[in-house]
Structure formats: structure tokens, C-alpha cells
Amino acid sequence: MDDLTAADRALLADLRDAFQQLDPPPPHLLHAAHTSLDWMNADAILAELVADSAATGAPALRAAAPPRVLTFDAEGTTLVVEIVTVARVGEPAAGRRVIGQVLPAGDANVEIRTAYGAAVQVRADGHGRFRATEVPAGPLAFSCQFDDPTRTPFVTGWTTDQG
């Protein structure tokens, strides 16, 4: 037995309308959700974002944008990436440089995806280090496939764009 009055029902219906119209799941998030089956292959695991310099720093106090450092953990394998925005005259945020390292180190294929499909493929060397330039603006996601078949491949979720 529900105790809703007619006025309650009407207000709830209006509120539901307001949520649906003004705060539905954002299209870019829906897009990311739609593509996540394609992004994660069956044997990969999801690396968790454990630290984000954008979440803790105070970038507003600095004149130049500091590099953003993200740390992911995939069941004991750590991925650290530094994202540096390269600004050119007349072409702000023309591209970004991504420098990263996988630890424990190992030769691996690293893929950097940008939000709308473009992907940059790079190799991580014996020290687990990799580097990519001209990475377009927008959210990024990383995947890593080791040459060593006993090591579990992993992918990360999309970084949120925080300017």
C-alpha cells in the first residue's frame, strides 16, 4: 500500500520529466559506454585510477598548465602517465605529449585512444617507458599488451577532461 497523494504523484512525475529532459546520461558518456565492449578484450583486466594530479593540485595558482600525472593500478602492475599540453601561437592546445612507464617494466604494445576513435600505438621499451607526441585533445584511455604472454593485458577507463 503506497501512501502517495495525488499531489505527490504529480510532483514526482514532473520531477522525473525534469531529470529526463535536463539531466540525462551525457551523450559523450553514452558513447564511451557503447564502445567499451570493443575497448576491453576478453582477457584484459581494468586498471583502476589511483591518483590524478588534476584532482589534488591547485593549477589555478600557476601561470602555465602543469603536466597532468595519472597513476593506474592493474592488479599489481602500475602505469604512470604524464600528459603535457603543447601550446603553439595561434593554435592553443595543438596537441599533447604523453610520457609513460609501466612497472614492473616489460616490453609491451601500448595504445593511447582518444575519445572519438583515433588511436596512437607506441612501444614500451625494456624499462617499460613509452612516449607519444601529437596526441589530440580530449579524454584519453590506455591499453597495454605485454610481449610476455604470462603477463595480463590491461586497459584503463577514459580520463575525464579537466582543462
Question: To the nearest whole angstrom, how small is the minimum distance from the Cβ of residue 110 to other proteins?
Answer: 18
Query: CB-wise, 26 or 117, nearer to other proteins?
Result: 26
Q: How many helices (H) and strands (E) does the chain have?
A: 3, 9
Among residues 134 and 161, whose Cβ is nearest to other proteins?
Answer: 161
CB of 20 to other proteins, least distance (A): 8
Residue 77 CB, shortest distance to other proteins, in Å, is: 15
Q: What is the rounded distance in angstroms from the CA atom of residue 145 to the CA atom of residue 97?
A: 21
Interacting residues with other proteins (CB under 8 A): 1-4, 6-26, 29-30, 32-34, 36-40, 42, 44-46, 48-50, 55, 155, 157-158, 160-162
Give the N- to C-terminal CA distance of the chain in Å, as an integer: 50
Q: How far is CA 162 from CA 35, 57, 118, 159, in A?
A: 22, 12, 20, 9
Residue (11 or 87) nearer to other proteins, CB: 11
Amino acid symbol at 8: D
Residue nearer to other proteins on the CB measure, 51 or 105: 51
Nearest approach, Cβ of residue 122 and other proteins (Å) = 22
What is the Cα–Cα distance from 127 to 161, expressed in whole angstroms? 29
Rounded to whole angstroms, the Cα distance separating 152 from 81 reads 19
CB of 85 to other proteins, least distance (A): 17
Judged by beta carbon, residue 52 or residue 107, the one nearer other proteins is 52
Beta bridge partners of residue 72, listed in sequence order: 49, 79
